[in-house]
Structure 1
Amino acid sequence: MSPRECAALLALMAEARELTNAELFAVAGVTLDGKPRLKLNKLGLVVSERVGRGFVHELTERGAKWCIEEFTRPRPAKSGSFGGALYVVLAGLHRHLVSSGQVLSDIFQPDVPGQILRKYAEITKGKPDQVRLAELRGRLPHIPPSDFAVAVITLADHDGVHVRAEADRKTLTDDDHAAAVTLGGTARHLLTVEAGR
């Protein structure tokens, strides 16, 4: 495997979800296209589905098995100090999995609050504007509604994150009601994240 292919596989493992090339680049500084994508698809390590003009990639069970095996491989030649540190971390993860009896899915789970914050920043271009939870949920269709609600409630406990009710209830749509979360006995429909979060 090339360093780029290894990086894509390990990033998909750690994120534990489908990723577009833009998301892969945002989290790991790597994209999966051209010959590397075709190679990983042919080996059955990654499934790539065209969505619009780009691809969405997901690690297969075979890909997860490859990642686990990578945990015990020696550091590749010429991998440098960052590569060396990565393989020390992978070896430590392997020891933990063996000693605890856990599996990858016990450790690597989708970062739903992080996905919501990234989508919020994309919508607002980094400004502390109010965004309807319904809009956020609509732009993150891969997140189950219950997971989305739990993540918003978790975010509400963070400094600089505000989840508020819509004052003009007449403006609420069915989507707003469906995406609302309940805090303190009140349905909340709007998310605001202070600048710098």
Structure 2
Amino acid sequence: MPARYRLTYFNGRARAELIRLIFHAAGEEFEDNRIDTGSWQQLKPNTPFGALPILEFDGLVLAQSLAIARFLAREFGLAGKARFDEALVDSVVDTSNDILGDIVKIIFNEDDKLKRENQKKFVENILPFTLQSLENMFAKHGKGSGYIIGPDLTYADLAVFNALDQAVQAGLVQWQFFDRYKHISGLLRRLEETPRIAGYLKTRPHTPY
């Protein structure tokens, strides 16, 4: 029987990896449809906004990575328990997406001089400031649970993990960079040891981005 959900994206992490992590954390089956650029040119005119990823389910199509992530997080109970908690979770996800946006801009910048300048600014200023802000969120809203908002895993935790994982994958920092942030480093270790996440991390394709 085919999976209910079909996620279409390129063979990379970038904008689709958070969605994949949500599926795996929730233990939900899905078709991870990874396409090449040739297939994309054929598919593009039939997508809602001419961009990937898209999610297909029950005869419906949903576009935009964060819209998909939020929808699935709410479907699978990974969005927070109360309305304000949901908003806090979304704020962390948006912040993590900002990190991811900075990473993408650095990776695909073809001006070597500007690329080096942006990388230096990211590693020395932007990333430390953001990580300290996230540490403060852990301290204020984590309730000592080891998760960033509330007592249970949410997709905010997955979003933080994903953004930092992609920073390492891009060669901008090493994992040891996060050791100075107690709550964040603890979360990274915890997620890496969570069976569903660990199983996926061991088997996911090695990709350039």
Higher strand content, 1 or 2: 1
Q: Which protein is bigger by CA-based radius of gyration?
A: 1
- Place the TM-score, normalised by the shorter chain, in its bin: under 0.3
- TM-score, structure 1 as length reference: 0.27
**1 or 2 for the larger relative contact order (CA 8 Å, sep ≥6)?**
2
- TM-score, structure 2 as length reference: 0.26
